Amino acid sequence: MMTDHVLPKSLWRREQPLRVLVVGAGGNGSAILLGLPYLHQAMKVWGYAGGLHVMLADGDLVSETNCVRQPFAAADVGLNKAIVLINRVNLFWGLKWQAHAGHFHKDSLRAKLPGPHLLIGCVDTRAARQAILSAVTRTNDSTVYWLDLGNNASSGQYVLGQPLNAANRRSATRLRTVAELYPEIADAEAGEDPLPSCSAAEALERQEPFINQVLAKSALAMLARLFRYRVLTHHGAFYSASSGRMSVVPCDPDLWKKIQKHTRRHSLVKEKPR
């Protein structure tokens, strides 16, 4: 049965900035970051006086290959990705957003500073998703939403969820996270996909251009509707570049149960000895 997801009242038209942590400054992370200033401006118009305050975390350095599909120039090679992008956004928009030049790990949210209201995961390994999952599901963590973006060569997905923690209690209508619907995506023991390509030609062979932008803009459009109207009927989508189709994930507790049941059955089949 489909239902509407309602934005928690604690986030309605806040006077203080809504804190956003973007983990990963690669293809999806850079596309998300470059779109967030537009959401920041829109939210101020909609009554969120503080707009957004964003931190971008990534420990990687810019390589020559990154300049093919990501918004980096030759002059950026060798510099930290998060610092390059945050400096660019701050200079253009007159903001004071922050960069963390280090990799996210399961204890990253244990700092004394206030944690994020929204964590946007743009990572490309199961181990990195496992670290995010461990961080946002601690009993004393207060992350309200975890938005995950991921893709392969010609398709991808984004899923917004409410991790079980101090901010989100068990309920039938709580938005299920990507790790609850598709546990293998955060299972580090399942092995990893091939490492990033080492040449421009290989990079374009392994991933078609514009996948990241499609996913990022669609995810940002969903967030914009959530903060403007305070209601969502879907909390994610799957996109295929080969067919051009976008299939949404509705806010439907019955569908969540079916997905989880199917996922468990699929996992059991894979685990059976041959």
Which residues, other chains included, contact 130 with Cβ-Cβ below 8 Å and sequence gap of 6+?
106, 186, 187, 188
- pLDDT value at residue 198: 47
> Which three-class secondary structure state does DSSP give residue 25?
coil
Pair 184, 175: CB distance under 8 Å: no
State both tokens at 236.
Answer: 């994610």
User: How many residues are given for the chain?
Assistant: 274
Q: Which CATH number is 111's domain given?
A: 3.40.50.720
- pLDDT band of 266, cuts 50, 70, 90: low
Q: Which residue from 66, 59, 56, 123 is spatially nearest to 95, judged by alpha carbons?
A: 56
pLDDT one-digit tens code per residue, 120-161: 999 999 999 999 999 999 999 999 999 999 998 889 999 999
Mean of all residue pLDDT scores within the chain? 91
- Is the pLDDT score of 267 beyond 70? no
Q: How many domains does the chain have?
A: 1
Pair 135, 141: CB distance under 8 Å: yes
Report phi then psi at 238, rounded to 5.
Answer: -115, 135
**Which stretch, 20-24, 103-107, 194-198, 209-213, has highest mean pLDDT?**
20-24
For residue 58, give its domain range. 5-271
The Cα–Cα gap between 115 and 96 comes to 17
pTM, two decimals, is: 0.92
Pair 68, 200: CB distance under 8 Å: yes
- pLDDT value at residue 274: 44
> Which three-class secondary structure state does DSSP give residue 63?
coil
Q: Indicate the DSSP class of residue 182.
A: S
CA 159 to chain centre: 8
pLDDT one-digit tens code per residue, 184-225: 999 877 766 654 544 454 555 567 789 999 999 999 999 999
Report phi then psi at 104, rounded to 5.
Answer: -75, 140
- Is the pLDDT score of 111 beyond 80? no
The Cα–Cα gap between 179 and 223 comes to 19
pLDDT one-digit tens code per residue, 153-171: 889 999 999 999 999 999 9
